[in-house]
Each structure stands twice: as structure tokens, then as C-alpha cells.
Amino acid sequence: MIAQKMFIVTGAAGNVGAALTTLLVSRGHRVAALDRTAAALTARFGAEAAVLPVAVADLSDPAVARAAVEQAATALGRIDGVAATVGTFAMAPTAESAPDLWERMLRINLFTVLNIFSAALPHLRSAGGGSLVAISAGAALRAAAGMAAYAASKSAVLRLVESMAEETKGDRVRVNAVLPGTIDTPQNRAAMPDADPSRWVTPAQVADVLAFLLSDASSGVTGAALGVPGLG
């Protein structure tokens, strides 16, 4: 029997975040589900008792992230792991991309991860260990045309994961990332109507890998970047 664990999932009302939250609950765990509005969380999870909805204004604000983690820790009793699934995407020719595009990519894709991990780390240390997992992207390894700002922000997530993993080994805290390819979401289907979504990775497939990295089955894995490109 798997021991019940207490997790935080950010972006829990999103496609991957919802898939992961549902998967963790199905395995007997409890989840503090963080997203921008309580309405979005209720629409996803209803009155599921194992899901604690936490509405957060902006996780790129360190104070907001700290308050959300404290609320989750108080309600759950402890924190065993965090999955950071908040993210955004935009494209622009590099030489024409405005500074605010770069700022937005870094603020949403990087700082939300940094802030929630930093806020949760003391709780994991005091609990004797745990797991922090972030979503990077395949583009973090090689950027396509028009993806410089997005790819740079996702590459920065990998550097954060690598450095924090080295810093927390002695505390038995593991820090890892997943690198999905294009995810089959309604938003991506609408943005790329001529593409073949059967070649994309599904939110459930990404959630499976995130759940593995949160679990004791990955107890020897830290500082890793696991690709989830799909098989299409």
C-alpha cells in the first residue's frame, strides 16, 4: 500500500496540472491545488475532498508564493513535494521581440518555479526530505525560429533545477524537471489547426512522469531533465 503524501501542484486548473492532481488523488494522496481563481479549481475538481483549492494572485510574486505555501502546509499538515506546472508560450522573431515579451516569459516560466520552490524548501527540509518538480520544455535544449524568449526561460528552469539539486542533496530533497514536446491541449489545437495532434504528447503522459518524480520510486533521481516528447 502506498503511503499517503501531501503535495502542492501549481497551475492545477490547467491541462497538465489538472491531470497530475487527478492522478495523485487517485493514488490516495492529498493535493493543495493552486491556481488563479477558486472558480477555475471548482470547475476542475468540484468538491473532491482530497483537493484543497488555493486561489493565488500571482506566483511570480515571492510574498504570494510564501503565503500560498504556508496556507497549504497548515491545511495539509506537512508538504512532501511540489509540482510547478505554471507556464506560458509566445513566439516572435528574435530581433523584433520587445523587452516585455522576455520579461513575461521569465516572470511566468521561471520566477513562478523559483518562488514556489524557495517557499516550500524549508518545509521539505524540516520533514526530512521531499521532491520538487518543474516543467521545462524540449525547446530548452534547442530553440526553433521565433522561440528565443520562450526557450531561454525554459532553459533557465533547467539551470535552476540543476543548481538547487546540488544545494539540497544533503537534505534529501530531490529537484528535477520534465521536458515535454508539444502537448495536446485545446489551446494548442486551436493555435495549430493544421498540425497532427496524434504526434503530440498528452497531458496524462506528462502527468505520469511528474508523478513518478514526486514518488519514492524516483528516490535516486535528482538534477535530472526527463524528456517527454511523445511517440508520434
Write out the catalytic residue numbers: 150
For cell 520533514, name the residue: 127
Do residues 29 and 51 touch, judged by C-beta distance below 8 A?
A: no
Closest CA to 8 of 61, 56, 60, 68: 68
Do residues 16 and 183 touch, judged by C-beta distance below 8 A?
A: yes
The CA-based diameter of the chain, rounded to the nearest angstrom, is 55
Give the whole-angstrom CA distance, residue 27 versus residue 24: 5
* H helix runs in the chain, sequence order: 15-26, 38-45, 62-76, 99-105, 112-126, 148-168, 186-191, 203-214
